[in-house]
Amino acid sequence: MKKVLIANRGEIALRVIRACREMGLATVAVYSDVDRAALHVAHADEAYRLGPGPATESYLRGDLILDVARRSGADAIHPGYGFLSENAEFADACAAAGVTFIGPPASAMRALGSKTRARQAADRAQMPRVPGSVTGLASADEALRVAAEIGYPVMLKAAAGGGGKGMRAVTSAAELPAAYTAASSEAERSFGSGEVYLEKLIEQPRHIEIQLMADTHGNCVYLGERECSVQRRHQKVIEEAPSAVVGDDLRRRMGEAAVRLALSCGYVNAGTVEFLVSRDQDSGEQNFYFLEMNTRLQVEHPVTEMITGLDLVRMQLRVAMGEPLGIRQQQIRLRGHAVECRIYAEDPENNFFPSPGLITRLMRPGGPGIREDCGVYAGWTVPLEYDPMLSKLVAYGETREAAIDLMLRALDEYVVGGIRTNIALFRRILLDEDFRASRIDTGYLERLLSLPAAPADAEIPDDVVALAVALFASSSKQSAVAASAAPESRWAAAGRREGLRG
């Protein structure tokens, strides 16, 4: 392997380019029309256009990406996350073109890609899963029968699902037939497959996942867990490693189950097994249930890297070259605590409305314990076409409390101008008593957001703001900011222009 094409954009493309550079591999970036000036392009050795902005005409066009691989002589493709990363047909097409797909074999992606097939694989690997059906439901009658067996409340889920689409919580038999029809037609619309299955609704679960890495020689290790319970609309907002509620014994049981599942499917490269974890009301025991397996590198992989000291992307590249892992399970040590905040171009004060546009200013935090995987810069226009994630800010400390305090300090330093971001939301969460005590589950954030926000710290007197505004006015080029009306109005416009120049 000499030259790697990165079939992705943004921070993850840059993350992979950096790892390739460190290993002496040449890098090929691809871009859509709106991404010519994107950061990942400016960091690559070679860069080629794919097509127009929409992902369906650029980053999802496997044929165009393989054309670029041929033209540039790239012998491997890293898919990042999202886009084509879990597309078995694309992995097949890479193999047919003689290009290494840096990820699992297509057969393993197929075995784990559908949620119903993954549930069957979990049974074969003797792994606990949420009770319910392991095949698609043929009718509302079958749904009623399965639900009666496992007891309400239940959850209908799309077999091809993700991101909360095709999902319905159902509390009684009366609601089930209508919910079945709704979930099935939503799944059909979103994923082209109306297959839905049913499982017991686990109440107030935590979302905890195990990171795996497997090589082509039959070795597979687990690299601890990540706690991803802070979610909004099924999207992760804050991730951390390790989980405050996972002890050595639970970690070993979950890790070994995840490894069994991966090996039973011929899995190779990085992967993540997601679990729901809940505490039994009576025994107080913690139970874990298989949820699904993600057959790719995850967004939140940095928190695992921080506490294991391993570089997952470099491991991925070495595995793809056919090298053995070179590390045994007993050698993996977890140390300290890492927290990640996903910084998005969205406005928490306005119903999380996306806020793309020109970044006029970027003041990034630094100091000990801070890592930032950032895909943007001052002067970059965040496009409308893709996920509005700007950056992943990671704090690492000796303890969970230290990592949280470090993150709060870093967020204080972080200023993004021109667009709105969710930075203030993280402050609210990280200061919340329940979060700090790790009393969290997948419904935690929605509950927090339904409460009125505490008023902002009254640390900044109004006079300071008035003075700052007046001083900016007086120092602007049009400093004829006299008492008369017209120049002042002109200054207001000039101030805006200056802000844009950044």
Partner 1 sequence: MTVWVEVEGRQRRVELPPEAAAGGALRCSVDGSAVEVDARAVEPGVLSLTIEGRQYRCVLDGDAVIVIGRGGGRRFVFAVEDTRSLRGRRGAGAGASGTRTVKAPMPGRVVRVLVTEGDEVAEHQGVVVIEAMKMQNELKSPKAGRVIRVAAAVDTTVGSGDALVVIE
Residues known to be catalytic: 296
User: Please, what is the minimum distance in Å from the beta carbon of residue 419 to partner 1?
Assistant: 9
323-362: contacts with partner 1 (CB under 8 A): 350-351, 353-357, 360-361
Q: In the bound complex, what is the minimum distance in angstroms from residue 273's beta carbon to partner 1?
A: 27
Contacting residue, 75, 256, 405, 488, with partner 1 by CB under 8 A: 488
Rounded Cα distance, 21 and 69, in Å? 18
Interaction with partner 1 in 442-481: which residues (CB under 8 A)? 456-457, 459-460, 462-475, 479, 481
- Structure-block tokens of residue 299: 């967004």
Q: Which of 172, 315, 423, 444 binds partner 1 (CB under 8 A)?
A: 423
- Judge contact between 153 and 185, C-beta under 8 A: no
Give whichever of 51 and 54 is closer to partner 1, judged by the CB atom: 54
3-state secondary structure of 254: helix
Min separation Cβ 418 and partner 1, Å = 7
Stretch that binds partner 1, among 78-86, 189-197, 209-217, 482-490 (CB under 8 A): 482-490
Q: How many helices (H) and strands (E) does the chain have?
A: 17, 22
Q: How far is it, in rounded angstroms, from Cα 309 to Cα 224?
A: 12
Binding to partner 1 (CB under 8 A) within 365-394 occurs at 384-388
CB atoms within 10 A of CB 71: 11
Interface residue with partner 1 among 59, 414, 435, 444 (CB under 8 A) is: 414
What minimum distance in Å lies between the beta carbon of 43 and partner 1?
24
Query: How far apart are alpha carbons 382 and 416 in whole angstroms?
Result: 12
Q: Which is nearer to partner 1, 126 or 479 (CB)?
A: 479
Q: Is the peptide bond before 242 cis (omega within 30 degrees of 0)?
A: yes
Say which residues have a Cβ less than 8 Å from residue 140's Cβ, sequence separation at least 6.
176, 177, 180, 181
Q: How many residues bind partner 1 (CB under 8 A)?
A: 60
Stretch that binds partner 1, among 73-81, 134-142, 269-277, 492-500 (CB under 8 A): 492-500
Which of 178, 363 has the CB closer to partner 1?
A: 363
In the complex with partner 1, the residue whose CB is nearer, 278 or 355, is: 355
Compare residues 81 and 472 and give the one whose CB is closer to partner 1: 472
Residue 74 CA to residue 26 CA, distance in Å, equals: 8
- Chosen residue from 336, 365, 379, 417 binding partner 1 by CB under 8 A: 417
With respect to partner 1, which residue has the nearer C-beta, 95 or 363? Answer: 363
Residue of 121, 119, 141, 144 lying closest to 130 (CA atoms): 119
- Binding to partner 1 by residue 56, rule CB under 8 A? no
Enter the tokens of residue 285: 């025991």
Cα 91 to Cα 7: distance, rounded to the nearest angstrom:
12
Q: How far apart are CA 66 and CA 363, in angstroms?
A: 38
The number of beta carbons lying within 10 Å of the beta carbon of residue 423 is 18
Strands 3-6 and 76-78: parallel
- Residue 345's nearest CA partner among 375, 318, 382 is 382
| Closest CB to partner 1 among residues 241, 419 | 419
Binder to partner 1 among 418, 429, 435, 444 (CB under 8 A)?
418
Task: Kindly give the pairing relationship between strand 286-294 and strand 235-241.
Answer: unpaired
Q: Are 44 and 28 in contact (CB under 8 A)?
A: yes
Rounded to a whole number of angstroms, the minimum distance from the CB of residue 422 to partner 1 is: 12
Give the shortest CB-201-to-partner 1 separation in angstroms: 26
Amino acid at 150: I
Q: Using CB under 8 A, list all residues that contact partner 1.
A: 350-351, 353-357, 360-361, 363, 384-388, 411-415, 417-418, 423-424, 427, 456-457, 459-460, 462-475, 479, 481-485, 488-489, 491-492, 495-496, 498-502
